[in-house]
Amino acid sequence: MSSMAELLWAEKYRPRSLDDIVNQEEIVTRLKKFVEEKNMPHLLFAGPPGTGKTTAAHALAHDLYGENYQQYLLELNASDERGIDVIRTKVKEFARSRVPGEIPFKIIILDEADNMTADAQQALRRLMEMYTGTTRFILIANYPSKIIEPIQSRCAFFRFTPLKKEDVVNRLKWIAEQENVAYDIEALEVIYEVSEGDMRRAINILQAASALGKVTVEAVYKVIGLAHPREIREMINLALEGRFTEARDKLRQLMVEYGLSGIDIIKQVHREIFGSEIKLPEQLRVLIADYAGEIQFRLVEGADDEIQLNAFLARLALIGKKVKG
């Protein structure tokens, strides 16, 4: 297996061409049309993290310019370099110069563009008009509503969606085989569930879990700092059966052994309430979900983790007794 000191696998196994991108078929088809025409408008890529926005921008540049595409590309992370001075210096200097070759324009990628200041966005709006002949902009944002309307209207919009389970699992299997990592298929499915369609996070979890040896369900939960769902379910069932003291002991065990915060635990409880493993009447799920939301709010506001979670378990015990009665 490759050393953990190497590049993260998420970067090492990033698709290099549009043909390698999966689960975004409509987007890839539209981008390939730009490659065929050797022309493109300004672009705005929007969607959740880890769905391939930055990868698609690099793949588009690769397919337009070839292997040496980096010399025609300026990439800035707008969350770090988001002020008006950067737009007036770095971006303007790069945008105004022409390039020889078959493709008459260069590309500027502004990652996390939704973090740019309002002044910087206004300056960028003007540059997009002035240097259209020599430069195309690709803006990447998780929240496109934070991009001012004049910039949005100058861009072709592409919305990326979370990746499908089979695509994520298949990619994880392929990476594990390339790195000679042993794995359980159930562990890869758990990685998909906790990553919620974020491919970058899924690959990083796989790499972290592989450092413990074979990638198992237990290893995955250990590296992401969450309790195994069966232990959360056991705690919930103990409380609903009226065995409050045992449920409280289980809670303490989870907080000590896994080092979980109260917010981590209440989020896992909320997930398990709506899972198929716990058999609950619909009305009971509604009551528990409502109270879990109240506890989560108190924890965010700074209330004591153990006291609030004990109160939550006590409420479950009372609800369980009413149901039995």
Number of domains in the chain: 3
Residues 191 and 86 in one domain: no
Does residue 98 form part of some domain? Answer: yes
Residues 149 and 36 in one domain: yes
Residues 186 and 173 in one domain: yes
Residues 118 and 38 in one domain: yes
Residues 142 and 251 in one domain: no
For each of the chain's 325 residues, which pLDDT tens digit applies? 444 445 578 888 888 899 888 888 899 999 999 999 999 999 999 999 989 999 999 999 999 999 888 888 888 875 555 566 667 777 777 787 777 778 889 998 998 888 888 888 888 888 888 888 889 999 999 999 999 999 999 999 999 998 899 999 999 999 999 999 999 999 999 999 888 889 999 999 999 999 999 999 999 998 888 888 889 999 999 999 999 999 999 999 888 877 888 998 999 999 888 876 777 788 888 889 999 999 999 999 999 999 999 999 999 999 887 776 5
Residues 208 and 311 in one domain: no
CATH number at residue 175: 1.10.8.60
Instruction: Evaluate whether 241 touches 253 at the Cβ level (below 8 Å).
Output: no
What's the confidence (pLDDT) of residue 58? 94
Does residue 261 form part of some domain? Answer: yes
Does residue 272 form part of some domain? Answer: yes
What's the confidence (pLDDT) of residue 70? 87
Does residue 199 form part of some domain? Answer: yes
Does residue 2 form part of some domain? Answer: no
Report d(CA 58, CA 78) in Å as an integer. 16
Does residue 16 form part of some domain? Answer: no
Does residue 10 form part of some domain? Answer: no
Does residue 15 form part of some domain? Answer: no
Residues 304 and 193 in one domain: no
pTM: 0.78
Domain closes at, from 159, 179, 198: 159
Residues 96 and 147 in one domain: yes
What's the confidence (pLDDT) of residue 4? 45
Host domain of residue 287: 229-324
